């Protein structure tokens, strides 16, 4: 187990003890970290729910564009619900290069001089990839595998855009 380390390569994403697969399910997170502290079901007309592990300091944005059995919800059917985004916010989380929650933007740019700005934050690990689902007609773009989000000039969270939505 690699406690509280976030890391990524163009092919992998790692949130501590959990290797987040391309088709990561909510059940995979439960298998790695146990049941969440809370799962906040989607509101009407929202396509996502949020599962929160307070002690570990992370949350998942979960969804499914596929089948959910009758009587089940995103929170009650973890095997059929997928991880769209994983977000680490606890102060113990850090990268392998030593960037921590709470560190300055200057430290981020010193440790990751090639970080690119994305809507998810600063891509500290990124890959040149096809854009999916017709969003950009299959063109190649840089996309983050691990991003650091800044708030008031400090690292507020680490974000893994996963995009496993079960379609």
pLDDT tens by residue, 52-66: 999 999 999 999 877
Q: Tell me the per-residue pLDDT of 73-100, one tens digit each, with 9 for 90 and over.
A: 889 999 999 999 999 999 999 999 999 9
Q: Would you state the structure tokens that stand for residue 114, as one six-digit string?
A: 């090639």
> For the chain, what is the total number of helices (H) and then of strands (E)?
2, 12
Task: Give the residue with greater pLDDT, 1 vs 76.
Answer: 76
* Cα 85 to Cα 111: distance, rounded to the nearest angstrom: 24
Strands (E) across the chain are located at: 5-8, 13-15, 18-19, 38-40, 49-53, 58-63, 82-88, 94-95, 116-118, 121-130, 140-151, 154-161
pLDDT at 133: 47
Q: Which neighbouring-strand residues pair with 147?
A: 123, 159
**Tokens 């987040």, located at residue:** 20
Q: Is the pLDDT of residue 1 over 70?
A: no
pLDDT in tens, 99-146: 999 999 999 999 999 999 998 899 999 988 765 544 556 677 788 999
Examine the pLDDT at 165 and tell me if it is beyond 90.
Answer: no
Which pLDDT tens digit goes with each residue over 21-50?
989 999 999 999 999 999 998 776 678 899
Instruction: Measure CA 62 to chain center.
Output: 10
Report, at the CATH architecture level, how domain 1-167 is classified. Sandwich (2.60)
pLDDT at 153 over 80: yes
Task: Give CA–CA dist 143/116, Å, rounded.
Answer: 9
**pLDDT grade, residue 166 (50/70/90)?**
low
Give the pLDDT confidence score for residue 141 in this predicted structure: 79
What pLDDT does residue 143 have? 85
pLDDT of residue 119: 85
Domain ranges of the chain: 1-167
Give the C-alpha distances (Å, rounded to integers) separating 129 from 84, 113, 126, 138.
17, 21, 9, 9
């Amino acid at each position: 187990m690699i406690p509280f380390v976030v890391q990524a390569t163009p092919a992998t994403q790692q949130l501590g003890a959990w290797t987040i697969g391309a088709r990561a399910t909510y059940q995979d997170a439960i298998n790695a970290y146990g049941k969440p502290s809370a799962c906040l079901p989607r509101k009407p007309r929202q396509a996502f729910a949020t599962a929160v592990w307070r002690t570990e300091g992370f949350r998942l944005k979960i969804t499914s564009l596929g089948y959910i059995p009758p009587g089940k919800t995103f929170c009650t059917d973890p095997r059929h619900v997928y991880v769209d985004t994983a977000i680490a916010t606890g102060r113990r989380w850090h990268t392998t290069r030593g960037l921590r929650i709470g560190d300055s933007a200057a430290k981020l740019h010193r440790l990751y001089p090639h970080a690119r700005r994305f809507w998810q934050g600063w891509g500290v690990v990124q890959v040149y990839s096809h854009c999916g689902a017709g969003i950009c007609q299959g063109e190649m773009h840089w996309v983050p595998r691990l991003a650091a989000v800044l708030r008031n000039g400090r690292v507020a969270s680490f974000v893994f855009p996963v995009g496993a939505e079960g379609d």
